[in-house]
Amino acid sequence: ETGVTQSPTHLIKTRGQQVTLRCSSQSGHNTVSWYQQALGQGPQFIFQYYREEENGRGNFPPRFSGLQFPNYSSELNVNALELDDSALYLCASSGQTSGEETQYFGPGTRLLVL
Amino acid sequence: QKEVEQNSGPLSVPEGAIASLNCTYSDRGSQSFFWYRQYSGKSPELIMFIYSNGDKEDGRFTAQLNKASQYVSLLIRDSQPSDSATYLCAVTNQAGTALIFGKGTTLSVSS
């Protein structure tokens, strides 16, 4: 267990709806990254939050947005859901390991868009 | 587009054998390299990280890095059926913020 938690575990939405996914980082970690993993693919980087600011963003449209709170927990919001948004959404928190950032993943939220 | 390439497999080895998993990456600016294991329906679990050229050993696992060839590998000695999973290679982007993943190699260890 990494100490990273995510909620909910599973979610079913319909096209056009909005969804909010939540993540609590591992104790002592101040950085949270979000990834999307489609079936049979590797995770794709959505964005990273460091001390409540966006610290990098992947190739995802603006309808994917996020927040980080003072306790370093984070939310991923997706507006105007599309069928292709169906995927496993992974949150990873970062800490210092031998001076480098190592990302530890939570259990994920599986989103199905109908 | 920065890429990480892995042979998708499946790679099949008998119990007790050595499994060799390979990965190449395109961004010469990548500084950190990771191997994650992912069981079906689960999230990725960190196995190894390596930052310097050469070998790094941890139990039955050895990671090898060659930055000149832009090549990372993972050796699993004395493979066990419980090692059957998808192995994801990941490298950091130049900013060090994102992990860029390959599609993963599926390993099957038969008893």
Calpha distance B34→B100 (Å, rounded):
10
Residue type, position A103, single letter: Q
What is the 8-class DSSP label of residue B18?
P
- The reported pLDDT for the residue numbered A2 is 78
Q: Is the pLDDT of residue A98 over 90?
A: no
Residue B101: strand pairing partners = B90
List pLDDT tens digits, range B52-69.
999 999 999 999 999 999
Q: Is the pLDDT of residue B102 over 90?
A: yes
pLDDT-based confidence at residue A99 (cuts at 50, 70, 90)? very low
- The reported pLDDT for the residue numbered A96 is 59
Nearest by CB to residue A105, choosing from B32, B43, B98, is B43
Calpha distance A1→A4 (Å, rounded):
8
Q: Is the pLDDT of residue A67 over 60?
A: yes
- The reported pLDDT for the residue numbered B77 is 98
Residue of A48, A91, A103 to mutate, testing the B interface (most B Cβ within 10 Å of its Cβ): A103
- The reported pLDDT for the residue numbered A14 is 98
Which residues in chain A have Cβ-Cβ distances shorter than 8 Å to B92?
Answer: 101
CB B85 within 8 A of CB B38: yes
CB B61 within 8 A of CB B76: yes
Calpha distance A11→A31 (Å, rounded):
25
pLDDT-based confidence at residue B95 (cuts at 50, 70, 90)? confident
Decide: helix, strand or coil at residue A84. helix
Q: Is the pLDDT of residue A101 over 90?
A: no
Which residues in chain B have Cβ-Cβ distances shorter than 8 Å to A48?
Answer: 97-98
Q: Is the pLDDT of residue A38 over 60?
A: yes
List pLDDT tens digits, range B15-44.
999 999 999 999 998 889 999 999 999 999
Nearest CA in chain B to A42: B103
- In this structure, of A17-21, B76-80, B85-89, B97-101, the range with the lowest mean pLDDT score is B97-101
Calpha distance B24→A112 (Å, rounded):
32
Cβ contact, residue pair A107, B103, below 8 Å: no
Chain A closest-CA separation from residue B87 CA (Å): 10
Q: Is the pLDDT of residue A100 over 60?
A: no
Q: Which residues of B touch A (CB under 8 A)?
A: 4, 31-32, 34, 36, 42-46, 49, 51, 88, 90, 92-93, 95-104
Mean pLDDT of B90-95: 90
Length of chain B as a residue count? 111
Nearest by CB to residue B95, choosing from A56, A98, A106, is A56
